[in-house]
């Protein structure tokens, strides 16, 4: 709800700025400017508007995600490396729940690429816990939203074994079965 309100306020501010610019901009003789000059003026104005919008969004009251979370495609993501101590899978899932989210459910290849891109900035952490487990039924991997592992895209879980019931994400978009009692970093996801 707060994210929607922030988006509406931001859109209103941008619309107001555009209206003010159009209303108070000095009238230029459209016949005297070349197409290149018109294009250059448009680029300069867009740059000014981009800077104004950036200033507005830096205000903590206009953040789409809480501090420490990253916004991407209408969602907020929390990457624990450097911000929290490593935790077991269940403890990681509980952290996400306490912050109105869940361990990340990877819904498409673009999201996988996004997660992999962020992971590449954490050289010390070879994996992240994600919201995938076969704890209810051995060999039946389900995402935290109850869907089958292949519901969103064709992926498999490597190293599956009876004592490895939780999945982690590794480089190259690989998902591996791991012991849920192992400690590691994680990624939460929630709506913005």
- Cα 110 from chain centroid? 11
Residue 24 has pLDDT above 60, yes or no: no
Of the listed ranges 49-53, 77-81, 178-182, the one predicted with least confidence? 49-53
Domains of the chain: 2-62 (no CATH), 70-191 (3.10.100.10)
Overall average pLDDT of the 138-165 stretch: 95
0.85 exceeded by pTM: no
Overall average pLDDT of the 25-47 stretch: 75
Residue 128 has pLDDT above 70, yes or no: yes
The two three-digit tokens of residue 2, written as one number:
């707060």
Residue 14 has pLDDT above 60, yes or no: no
Quote the CA–CA distance of 145 and 105 in Å, as a whole number.
7
Q: Which tens digit of pLDDT belongs to each residue from 60-105? A: 666 889 999 999 999 999 999 999 999 999 999 999 999 999 999 9
Q: What is the 3-state secondary structure (H, E, C) of 3-25?
A: HHHHHHHHHHHHHHHHHHHHHHC
The two three-digit tokens of residue 178, written as one number:
């791991």
Q: What is the 3-state secondary structure (H, E, C) of the chain?
A: CHHHHHHHHHHHHHHHHHHHHHHHCCCCCCCCCCHHHHHHHHHHHHHHHHHHHHHHHHCHHHCCCCCCCEEECCEEEEECCCCCCCECHHHHHHHHHHCCCEECCCCCHHHHHHHHHHHCCCCCCCEEEEEEECCCCCCCCEECCCCECCCCCCCCEECCECCECEEEEEHHHEEEEECCCCCECEEEEEEC
């Amino acid at each position: 709800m707060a994210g929607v309100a922030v988006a509406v306020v931001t859109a209103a501010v941008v619309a107001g700025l555009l209206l003010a610019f159009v209303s108070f901009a000095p009238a230029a003789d459209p016949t005297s400017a070349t197409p290149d000059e018109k294009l250059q003026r448009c680029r300069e104005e867009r740059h000014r508007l981009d800077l104004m919008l950036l200033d507005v969004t830096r205000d903590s009251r206009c953040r789409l995600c809480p501090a420490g979370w990253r916004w991407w495609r209408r969602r907020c993501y929390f990457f624990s490396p450097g911000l929290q101590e490593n935790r077991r899978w269940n403890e990681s899932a509980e952290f996400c729940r306490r912050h109105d989210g869940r361990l990340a459910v990877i819904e498409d290849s673009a999201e996988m690429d996004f997660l992999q891109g962020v992971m590449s900035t954490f050289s010390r952490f070879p994996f992240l816990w994600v919201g995938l487990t076969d704890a209810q039924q051995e060999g039946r991997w389900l995402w935290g939203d109850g869907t089958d592992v292949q519901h969103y895209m064709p992926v498999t879980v490597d190293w599956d074994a009876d004592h490895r019931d939780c999945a982690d994400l590794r480089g190259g978009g690989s998902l591996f079965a791991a012991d849920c009692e192992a400690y590691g970093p994680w990624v939460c996801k929630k709506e913005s």
